[in-house]
Amino acid sequence: MSTHDAPGAAGPGERAAVLCGIGAALPETVVSNADLTARLDTTDEWIRSRTGITQRRIAGTDLTTEDLAVRAATQALARPSSVPVQALVLATTTPDRCCPATAPAVAARLGLTGIPAFDLAAGCTGFLYALAAAAGLIAAATAQAVLVIGADRLAALPAPDDRTTVPLFGDGAGSVVLRRGTAAESGTLGPVLLGSDGTHAELIRAQRPGVLRMEGAEVFRHAVDRMSAASRQAAAAAGWALDDFDHLVPHQANARIAGFTARQLGIPDDRQLHNVEHVGNTGAASIPLLLAQAAADGRIKPGHRLLLTAFGAGLTWGATTLTWPDLNP
Ligand code: COA
């Protein structure tokens, strides 16, 4: 037994990453489409028909990315099925400052001072990149369990008067705990497919908050193509057919992108999870937030097979598979 092997832990070679905790956090402030029409040249009908979004949650200046991350992580760690963690990965495009990273401060507030903790920036695909990094930390025997957080304040990125981008984004955080386990367990993460294409970096770019530039139609096309291709690859790598999945869990950029992606995969609407209508595009928080809400309201049940996929600035994209565990054993 190595020094990292606790009694009863999986043996050497059995270093699958198994989801055992989940949490989410949203700011209290709700901004509806009607609120936006009062200050932007837009309509509720335009926003809903183009994006599916009816409202989003917005953090005030007193609620930081760090705060949102701490709230979501606290919930994830408090699950009865959760375990103590020895590493933390925070996916965010909107850290509270350039330097130092936000993750060590989050770890400190959670009482986890001393563990490895780092930020990871991969746009709205950040959570899937963070899952892969966490699975790698477990496989490398750096940690028996890893806290993964996606937290973003994307609503701060658009110029306040830009009607083409302001309606799209919201703020939030989601978190999961991954622990070392065996491939046969419920909650085991499948192969994580990731990619990037920096030749299209100009399509979504923000040098600093308040100056986001986006080529919406081009982004739309790339998002659908990349998420459907990555989903096929992740399913194949896991040995699952697309018909085997109970739910597609697409990054909640907007309802039309998710709908086109599902259609390309031949997955009907009733097997596609969504919450973009209530929260907008929350970036790296999007997938764990959706998982947390869908598990809480019963749309996801233990044993359900999930296909997760995301796309974001970079460009970046990814997909993976997951069988939903029982988090209240
Ligand atoms: N209200 C009313 N009109 C608006 C508007 C708004 N909020 N935003 C843009 N328009 C106008 C444009 O000015 C344009 O007018 P014009 O034809 O007179 O020039 C018209 O609507 C069409 O604009 P366009 O940008 O071509 O619309 P679209 O159908 O491509 O929809 C998006 C725009 C942003 C909804 C769509 O491109 C999209 O969803 N892109 C992906 C964005 C995204 O999710 N990014 C994050 C990925 S992680």
**DSSP assignments along 226-277, one per residue:** HHHHHHHHHHHHHT--GGG-SEEEE--S-HHHHHHHHHHHT--GGGB---HH
164 CA → ligand 1 middle, Å: 5
pLDDT at 15: 87
Q: Could you tell me the distance, in angstroms and rounded to a whole number, from the CA of residue 213 to the centre of ligand 1?
A: 12
Domain containing residue 221: CATH number: 3.40.47.10
* 93 Cβ below 6 A of ligand 1: no
* Pair of tokens at residue 1: 């037994």
User: Beta 145-153 vs 87-91: how paired, if at all?
Assistant: parallel
Q: Of 20, 251, 274, 275, which is the active-site residue?
A: 251
**Pick from 91, 192, 93, 92: which is nearest to 138 by CA?**
192
User: Is the beta carbon of 36 within 6 A of some atom in ligand 1?
Assistant: no
Atom 1 in ligand 1: which residue has the minimum CA distance?
42
pLDDT by position in tens, the chain (length 329): 333 344 334 454 578 999 999 999 999 999 999 999 999 999 999 999 999 999 999 999 999 999 999 999 999 999 999 999 999 999 999 999 999 999 999 999 999 999 999 999 999 999 999 999 999 999 999 999 999 999 999 999 999 999 999 999 999 999 999 999 998 899 999 999 999 999 999 999 999 989 999 999 999 999 999 999 999 999 999 999 999 999 999 999 999 999 999 999 999 999 999 999 999 999 999 999 999 999 999 999 999 999 999 999 999 999 999 999 999 87
Residue type, 270: D
Q: What is the pLDDT of residue 13?
A: 52
What pLDDT sits at residue 53? 98
Any bridge partners for residue 175, and if so which?
23, 149
Residue 191, preceding peptide bond in cis (omega within 30° of 0): no
Ligand 1 touching residue 124 (CB < 6 A): yes
Atom of ligand 1 nearest to the CA of 43: 1
Q: Measured in angstroms, how far is the CA atom of residue 188 from the centroid of ligand 1?
A: 38
In this prediction, residue 10 carries a pLDDT of 46
Predicted confidence at residue 328, as pLDDT, reads 83
**Active site includes 20?**
no
How many domains does the chain fold into? 1
Write out the residue range of the structural domain in which residue 311 sits.
1-329
∠ Cα 67 128 271 (to 5°): 105
* Structure-token pair, residue 279: 């929260």
Q: State the distance from the centre of ligand 1 to the C-alpha of 215, rounded, in angstroms.
A: 9
**Ligand 1 atom, smallest distance to 283 CA:** 48
